[in-house]
Every structure is written in C-alpha cells, then in structure tokens.
Amino acid sequence: MLAQQSILRLDATAIDYIIIALYFVFVLGIGYLARRAVSSSLDFFLSGRSLPAWVTGLAFISANLGAIEIMGMSANGAQYGMPTVHYFWIGAIPAMLFLGVVMMPFYYGSKVRSVPEFMLRRFGKPAHLVNAISFALAQVLIAGVNLFLLATIVNVLLGWPIWVSVIVAALIVLSYITLGGLSAAIYNEVLQFFVIVAALLPLTLVGLHKVGGWQGLVDKVTASPGGSEQMSAWPGNALSGFGNSFLSVIGIVFGLGFVLSFGYWTTNFVEVQRAMASRNMSAARRTPIIGSFPKMFVPFIVIIPGIIAAVVVPELAQFKATGSGEVDYNDALLLLMRDLLPNGMLGLAITGLLASFMAGMAANLSSFNTVMSYDIIERYLIKDRPDDFYLRTGRWVTVAGTLIAIGTAAIASGYSNLMDYLQQLFSFFNAPLFATFILGMFWKRMTAAAGWIGLVSGTATAILVFVLSENGVINLPGQGASFVGAGAAFVVDILISVLVSTMTRPKEESELVGLVYSLTPKEQRTEVVLRGDHGWYRRPVLLAGISLAMTIVLNIVFG
Amino acid sequence: MAEKKKAGAFDIRIVIATLVGIYGVVLTILGIVEKQAEIDKAAGININLWGGLGMLVFTALFVLWARLRPIAVPVDAKPADE
C-alpha cells in the first residue's frame, strides 16, 4: 500500500482533524467512566452481567463490524457485486437467530463465563484446552489484521509510517480496555456503531445520487466488466467459485450459510461474550436477535458503496477491467470517499473507518483476555488465587495480547484480499467447533473423548483442504475453497465424533443438566419474565420470526 | 437481587447524543458556508448541511429517549405476571 500514498491521500483539513480528535476524546472518556464500574473480575470480563439488551445487541454486531468487515465486504462488493450480501442474509442473520433462540439458553443458563468453559463442562479438559488455545490464537491473529488495516488508513491519511500508526492505535485500544474492561469495549462499540453509520450512510447516498439512483447503478454495472449478474444476489457463481449455478447455490447455502456462518456466530466467544454480559436470560437471548435487525441493513452502507466505487472511480474501474493498476479492491471505500466527500463529512468518514477498526480490535482483545485469564491461567497455570489477582492478570494479559497483535499485523500485510485470509482462519477453527457444539448439545451420548478427537480431526481436515487448494490440487477460485474446507471439516468432525462416542463411555447424565437439550428442564431453558421484559416486542422467539421474515423478503427483492 | 444494580455507571445514550450532536452542529455550520466547488464534488448535494441536520434530529431523539426512560431506577414497577 505504501506506493499508493499519492493516489489515496485524502485531502483532509483542520476541520477533519478536529472531528477525528473529538472522537478519540470520547473513546478514552468512556474507558475512564467505565472504570468506575469495575470492582471484580466479573465486572471486568463480563460487565457484571448487567447490561440492557439494546446495548449488547448493538455491541454484538459492532464487534464484528471491524476493519475486515467494512473493508473486506466493500472490496467483495467491488469485485463480486450483490452476491456479497450472502455474507449477511444467508450467513449472519439465520445463525444469529439460531444463537438467540436455540443456543443462548445453554450458554447463559449454565452460567459459564466463556465458550471454552462450556466446552470444559460438557467435554472435559482436552476439548477445553484445544478450544481455548485455538481461540486465543485466532483472536490475536485477527486483532493483528485489524491493527494493520487501521495503520494503513492512518498512513494514507496522515502519512505516518505504518509502525508508528500501529503503535499509537494499539495504545489507544489498550488504554480503554485495561481501564474499563468489557464495559468500556461494549459502550465504545455502541458509540462506534452510530459513528460508522453516520460516516457510511451519507457516502452511500451521495454515491447513489452520483450514479443516477438505483437504476443508474444497475445500468452502469451491467455495462461494466462485472455484467448484469453482479446486480443480483443469486446464484453467485463468481463468489462461490462454482461454475454450475446449482452447485453454487448449494455451496453458498451449506458452505457459507450453514457451516461457516453458524460456526462463526454461534461459537465465537467474541460474539457470545456480548450476550453473556446482558442482565438476564431474556436480554441474553434478545442480544443477537436485536442485533440482526441493523445487521440486515449493513450491506446497504458497506457493499453498495463498494459496487458504486467500482463503476465511478476511474482507477478502480480500470483495475476491474484490466486486473492491474495502482489500486485494488481493498481501496474501494477510500477512493469513493476521496472523490465524493467534502471536508467535514470527509473527517467523519475517516473517523468512522478508524472507529470500525478499533471496534474490531478491541473486541478481539477483550475476548482474548477473558479466555486467557479464566480458561488458561486460572484453570491450568495459577489456580485458587483471590479474584483481585485475576482482575490484575486480565489487565496484563491485555497488554501482552496487544504486543502480539502488533507482531501479527505483519502477517496480514501479505494477503491481497483480506476476506480470503479471514475465511481460511474461520474454517480452521469455527466449522469443526460448531459441529462439536451442536452434537454435544443435542446428543447426550456424545463422550468427552469424542469432543476433543472430533475437534482436532475436523480442524485437521480444514487445514488439509486449505493446503490442497493452495497447491492447486483442488481448483476453486473465489471463496469456494473456504466453503469446501468448512463443509468437509464439519462432516468429518460429526463422523469421527459419532464413531468415537460409540467406543467410549459417556458422562453421567446428572453432570449434563443445563448442558444438553434433552436433560435440561424446560424452566431452565426459558426465561422467567422479569421487570423490564414485558411486551410482545421483547419476546425472543417472536422477534426472531419477524427478523427471519424480513430477511427472506430482502432475499427475494434483491435476488 | 441483580435487578437493583445500576446498568453501568453512566448513561451511554447521553454520551452518544453529545458526540453526534457536536458533529451535527459542526457539519451544519460547514454546510451553511459551503462553497459551490465542494457541493459539486458531492454530486450536487450539500452533504455537510443535510448530514449535519440529520445528526441533530438523531441527537434530539436520543435525548428524548434517555429522558423518557432513565436507567438508574426502573420506571415500571408492575409485577412480573401482568
């Protein structure tokens, strides 16, 4: 990206810098204010389980609305067009609803403090260790990606060297998380959500006006190298990498929709942690469901600007036509901002990007420190100390995680399409995890040994598919290799788990109450209606139904 | 029980409304004094003005919400079984 400085340099003036600086004052202020609420490790790691559902719901999607999402999805929008919406409408939404309706009662009801801790209670230590370590590793890697992207933006904007930006950005995130813990991260995520919308919505509207409205965009994309298929979501051949339309639909629905996305949204502790921080079972179940409503409209302010950029920004249109040039798809949003926004709104747009990158990184770090402190240090390394000790440990682990993320930022710079890189990581960890969880939650016969053996063999399968596709043995362009890898990992995990379960001894049924569906009494799985949970609009299952219906309508309208 | 605990030390809605409100004022003023060249850049829309006004409306709504439903004391004391 260094060579692109001159092309991408945004024409920021004093007023833009004031807008950016103001935001950082608020971010650090929230960290300071949230500190007053931290008096125990549960306050620090899970916000004392006290937050209202709309706060955790917005934090739930904001934690995911990081650099990878914003830049990666607008890059995908520029490259593939409308099929990118599948990441939201086929991928995210059904999985989020499933988490709220089906899985959250077990997470929240069993009072575990993290997803790996659920693993520990259901499957014992080996599965717990595998899960905790692979999760912690993935989080610092992804935090590195977010950090790197943040630094490139600052590099483009201010001309600061990448390493200076990396360190400054890391210090800001570090200071508010070590001060206020998860509350600071969550409150900042809510603030970030509104800033991101305030930044990207005007950009989208100006962009749409520029191309002559929706019909103008359809005409321009149809005439561009992308062609008309880029303006309809289905069948999305270019995205999935399958030439056959039928296979493409199957690949998207099962690979992306079922395995990858369910794996990500339902077992990723970054997300689940936000719901665990809410004040009761009803609020915990509503967290992902409330989040799904704004989530279904995020594509309009992320993917659409990417599509617009590919037809109105000359450099990007040339890159799309010839495959070479000084810019690439990851620059789509920046180029559009450069060309369309006046000073003032430009500053706000830059703030929105910085906010999103910090949201992502903060989310990674705040879940990393919880898993490291509760699941690895307290459980295996330094046991039975007073709570105060683990609170301090959490703060130091955050510092260590930040340092590692600075290191992994370098890894991220080696990939042209960050989304590909991230999908690979997710297929390693999340798809087999989802298989193990879902089998463990609904099949009481599944044994502890099956838990970890299934997990390891599933992960190994994903890595094998990755290696085969890198060496050209499996030839699927686009995201197809990820879909296949995730699907294979899921199937292998289920098969091996069933096989091992039949040969080993299951856990006592009394130990599985609250963890397995058939052994958990209904009262424990459903919420007691408490003060503040009245009204039809606060009923999780009904809300989920409305969300699902709206998503189906969106799929039909933009199909 | 846990329900009596305050939902955090401060009301995040007011914090959000303050930041967005300041942005709204700044952008609206910029929009009023906007030069034609800047408006042409944004395809003929005075985006600073409209964006700023939109943010002021948002701020008003958030303040209203925070006023109508404060967090510290639960407003409805109805029993759980309606």
pLDDT value of residue A8:
65
pLDDT value of residue A412:
67
Residues of B in contact with A194 (CB under 8 A): 16, 20, 58
| CB contact at 8 A, A386 and A378 | no
* Separation in Å, CA of A38 to nearest CA in chain B: 9
Is pLDDT at B4 greater than 50 in this prediction? no
* Partner residue opposite A190 with nearest CB, options B12, B23, B38: B12
pLDDT value of residue A424:
64
* Partner residue opposite A36 with nearest CB, options B9, B71, B80: B9
Domain ranges of chain B: 24-71
pLDDT value of residue A4:
45
For residues A69 and A62, what is the distance between their CA atoms, to the nearest angstrom? 10
| CB contact at 8 A, A155 and A1 | yes
- pLDDT band at residue B57 under the 50/70/90 scheme: very high
pLDDT in tens, chain A (559 residues): 444 455 667 777 788 888 988 998 998 888 888 877 777 777 777 777 778 888 889 988 888 887 678 888 898 888 888 888 888 888 889 999 999 988 888 888 888 888 888 888 888 888 888 888 888 888 887 888 778 878 877 777 767 787 888 888 888 888 888 887 888 888 888 998 999 999 899 999 998 888 888 888 888 777 777 676 777 767 767 676 666 777 777 777 777 777 778 888 888 888 888 888 888 888 888 899 999 999 989 999 999 999 898 888 888 887 777 777 777 788 888 888 888 888 888 889 888 888 888 878 888 888 888 888 888 888 878 777 787 888 888 788 888 888 888 887 776 666 555 655 665 666 667 788 888 888 888 888 888 888 889 988 988 888 888 788 777 777 766 567 777 788 888 899 999 999 988 888 877 777 777 778 777 777 666 666 666 666 777 788 888 888 888 988 888 888 7
Q: Please give the full DSSP string across A482-525, using - where no structure is assigned.
A: HHHHHHHHHHHHHHHHHHHHHHSPPPPGGGGTTTSGGGS-HHHH
- pLDDT band at residue B7 under the 50/70/90 scheme: very low
Residues 182-211 of A with CB under 8 A from B: 183, 187, 190-191, 194-195, 198, 202, 205-206, 209-210
Six-digit token string for A368:
């990393």
Is pLDDT at B60 greater than 90 in this prediction? yes
Residues of A in contact with B44 (CB under 8 A): 209
Contact residues for A435 (Cβ-Cβ < 8 A; gap 6+): A263, A454, A458, A489, A490, A491, A493, A494, A497
CATH number at residue A553: 1.20.1730.10
Measured CA to CA in angstroms, residue A233 lies from A255, A318, A336, A487 at distances of 16, 24, 23, 21
Six-digit token string for A354:
């910085």
- pLDDT band at residue B76 under the 50/70/90 scheme: very low
| Domain interval for residue A290 | 2-557
The number of domains in chain A is 1
Residues of B in contact with A531 (CB under 8 A): 3, 74, 76-78, 80
Task: Express the helix, strand and coil content of chain B in percent, nearest 5 each.
Answer: 65, 0, 35
What is this model's ipTM?
0.81
Residues of B with CB under 8 A from a CB of A: 2-3, 5-10, 12, 15-16, 18-20, 22-23, 26-27, 30-31, 34, 38-39, 41-45, 47-48, 50-51, 55, 58, 71, 74, 76-78, 80-82
Contact criterion met (CB < 8 Å) for B71 and A52: yes
Which residues pair with residue A278 across a beta bridge?
Answer: A51
Contact criterion met (CB < 8 Å) for A534 and B48: no
Q: How far is CA A429 from the centre of its chain?
A: 13
For residues A457 and A439, what is the distance between their CA atoms, to the nearest angstrom? 15
Is pLDDT at B3 greater than 60 in this prediction? no
Total beta-carbon pairs less than 8 A apart between chain A and chain B: 122
* Separation in Å, CA of A73 to nearest CA in chain B: 23
**Residue A518 neighbours by CB distance under 10 Å:** 10
Six-digit token string for A504:
């080993």
pLDDT value of residue A217:
81
HEC string of A153-202 equals HHHHHHCCCHHHHHHHHHHHHHHHHHHHHHHHHHHHHHHHHHHHHHHHHH
* Partner residue opposite B27 with nearest CB, options A48, A339, A344: A344
Q: Please give the full DSSP string across A193-229, using - where no structure is assigned.
A: HHHHHHHHHHHHHHHHHHTTHHHHHHHHHHHSTT-GG
Contact residues for A264 (Cβ-Cβ < 8 A; gap 6+): A91, A95, A271, A426, A430
pLDDT value of residue B54:
92
Contact criterion met (CB < 8 Å) for A348 and B51: yes
Is pLDDT at B61 greater than 90 in this prediction? yes
Q: Is A37 on the interface with B (CB under 8 A)?
A: yes
A185 closest CA partner among A63, A54, A61: A63
Residues of B in contact with A534 (CB under 8 A): 76, 78, 82
More confident residue, B23 or A52: B23
Q: Is A50 on the interface with B (CB under 8 A)?
A: yes
